[in-house]
Amino acid sequence: MEITQGLYLVSTPIGNLEDTSYRAVRILNSVDMIYCEDTRVSKKLLNYYQINKQLFIYNDFSSELSRNEILSKLMDGESVALISDAGTPLISDPGYKLVKLCRQKKIPIYTIPGPSALTSSVIISGLPTDKIYFLGFLPSTASKRKHELQKIKKLDATVVIFESAKKIHKTLNEIQNYFGDIEIVITREMTKLFEEVITNKISNILSEINEKPIKGEMVILFNTSELITNNVDFIEGKTPWEVKCDIALPCATQNELNEDDAKALTENGCFVVAEGANMPSTTEAVEHFIKQKILFGPGKAANAGGVAVSGIEMSQNSTRMPLSSEEVDNLLKGIMTRIHATCVQYGDKGDFINYVDGANIGGFVRVADSMIDQGIV
């Protein structure tokens, strides 16, 4: 079967020469010329299938002049095959500029699908395959590598990175610095005799390859859906209170949330604020929350669990009757439930519950009752 004028993008094996398709062999046997990355590598494939064709170079270092020469041959009606050293052309390989030129000149382009390290690694990894983010080889400069890795933080996908043995330590350390000691998958020597799939924590993999270095190009894969850092950005000098949310939990330091922060929260639709520290909201912020009639849990009520557990511990020690974790949980639940009931009892304003009033008045009543019980007043 004769072939017509056009550019043929022919996939070649990523390791096992027997993975070459019948169609790929026919096309390579039939085209007028074949362009490849490295004639020494591609010659092995042609010899294996007894394809007697001269090979021409087209790689990352090819100039615009080289592309124009190929384009000229195509426009003269010739057929040209483009192959990579291994896998599908243009996947982390040169060629897209040539394809773009051909499309602009309306020269026919044909794809002959076949082996790909990308797809082979994804399907064998055991990671989700519904959404895939392919990074290829990371840039060489530190700033550009950092930029690419930062973009991943906002993804919910399986990330695929190509890497060489020379840079594997550097890349794994960078991934660990950004995302922690996560579990990743590394594939290497796919379809070859020593094919290997490694699944482990980054620290463990680094220890293994320090003891026994690995060779060849490899593929790194990990899924971002379970990363704590997903969809979170750190902005130096900024607080999070301007971010839209339903529930805000200030729980770091005293007076960390001021009146402007409180206004930003309520303007963005926040309707629940519960303090998880000692007075993290300023007086002005608390007054704003009460004025807006949102559900505001002051620290003396919402953050009472720590003090309550301390009291339970003191009681346990004084009675010398150890409590199980389940018993402590039940006691704490009872205490927090009663605190809420007290806030409702003394803070009910008819159309909303003022938990600040409820907690304050409830606390005063509790102290007063204790003083009466002890005969102090």
* pLDDT confidence bin for 229, thresholds 50/70/90: very low
Q: Give the predicted TM-score (pTM) of the model.
A: 0.61
Report how far apart, in Å, the C-alpha atoms of 112 and of each of 4, 12, 64, 153, 314 are.
14, 9, 25, 35, 75
For every residue of 28-50, DSSP letters joined together read HHHSSEEEES-HHHHHHHHHHTT
pLDDT of residue 207 exceeding 50 = yes
In the chain, the domains with their CATH numbers are 6-115 (3.40.1010.10), 118-223 (3.30.950.10), 240-373 (3.40.50.720)
Q: What's the CA gap between 182 and 171, in Å, rounded?
A: 14
User: Which pLDDT belongs to residue 115?
Assistant: 94
Average pLDDT along the chain: 90
Give the model confidence (pLDDT) of 304-313 as tens digits.
888 888 888 8
Q: What is the pLDDT of residues 329-341, one digit of tens each?
A: 898 899 999 999 9
pLDDT per position as a tens digit, 46-76:
999 999 999 999 987 888 888 999 999 999 9
Share of the chain above pLDDT 70, in %: 97
* pLDDT computed for residue 1 by the predictor: 63
Q: In which band, very low, low, confident or very high, does the pLDDT at 142 lie, cut at 50, 70 and 90?
A: confident
Residue 232 has pLDDT above 70, yes or no: no
Q: Crossing angle, helix 202-211 and helix 168-179, to 10 degrees?
A: 160
What sign for the dihedral angle of Cα 118, 124, 127, 129?
Answer: positive
pLDDT tier at 322 (50, 70, 90 boundaries)?
Answer: confident
| CA 303/CA 283 separation, integer angstroms | 17
Residues 12/20, Cβ–Cβ less than 8 Å: yes
pLDDT of residue 150: 83
- Percent of the chain, pLDDT > 90? 63
Q: What is the pLDDT of residues 184-193, one digit of tens each?
A: 999 999 999 8
Does residue 221 carry a pLDDT above 90?
yes
DSSP assignments along 309-362, one per residue: HHHHHHHHHHHT----HHHHHHHHHHHHHHHHHHHHHHHB-SSSB-HHHHHHHH
